[in-house]
Structure 1
Amino acid sequence: MIAWLALAGAVALETVATLTLRVVSREVRVLPLVLVVLGYAGAFTLMTVSLRSLNVGIVYAVWSGVGTAAVAVIAAVVFRETLTPAAVVGIALIITGVVVLSLSGAHHA
């Protein structure tokens, strides 16, 4: 349970850091830049906690897949970026793939 909570925290921090990069790309300011660095550092730290009991393939699939889907959806709302029907299908496929992979056996043998 701790591993899954750590992984959820890693996804959340990575999502915040990635969305904050969008802000930094427009104007480099110290606070958002610090948030990016701390967000990624925290995400990797929490990923290492989850890797103590979950397979690396599962951790990376969840981290990258859910993170990608979350960033795309949040960016569409916050930054008014376009989500085409094909993008929505792609996000659904990512989530489906992560769920299938997770159900295939997430814990170390």
Structure 2
Amino acid sequence: MKQWIFLVGAIISEVVATLSLKAGMDNSIFYIVVLIGYVLAFVFLTKALKSGMALGVAYGIWGACGVAMTAFLSHLIFNEPLTSIMVLGIVVIIAGVLMIELGSQAATRKEKGNV
């Protein structure tokens, strides 16, 4: 369970850092947030991996959630476009990551002889 908490920390840190890149164009103080956010993201991601999460699953979820959250939040915060085609693309990315997670769970069950 703690691996998921670490992964959520990695996702939130990365999204905050990425959004701060845009905010930093108007106020350079945000570059400190960028640096801290990305460092924390990799620290949390490393902790999730050390806690037993598979790399492909962790990276897929981290990337997909980061893309989705950044797109939606940049639309709300910076008034950037978010078209129906973009939303569909985000849904496809999330569906792909879900398939990776389900495949990983099936492989784990098979290894343990629970199939």
Report 1 or 2 for greater relative contact order, CA contacts < 8 Å, sequence distance ≥ 6. Answer: 1
Question: How much has 1:27 moved relative to structure 2?
Answer: 2.9
SS state of the match for residue 104, structure 2? coil
Match of 2:88 in 1: 89
In structure 2, which of residues 35, 39, 42 is the aligned counterpart of residue 41 of structure 1?
A: 39
Cα offset for 1:58? Answer: 0.7
* Aligned residue pairs, count: 107
Normalised TM-score (structure 2)? 0.86
Runs of 5+ unmatched residues, structure 1: none
- Computed over aligned residues only, the root mean square deviation of the Cα atoms, in angstroms, reads 1.7
Unaligned regions of 5+ residues in structure 2, if any?
Answer: none
Deviations, residues 10-57 of structure 1 (Å, cap 9, x unaligned):
000000000000011x23523x11111000000000000111201111
Q: Distance in 2 between matches of 1:19 and 1:35?
A: 10
Q: Does 1:104 align with 2:103?
A: yes
Residue 53 (structure 2) pairs with residue 70 (structure 1): no
CA distance in 2, matches of 1:5, 1:101: 19
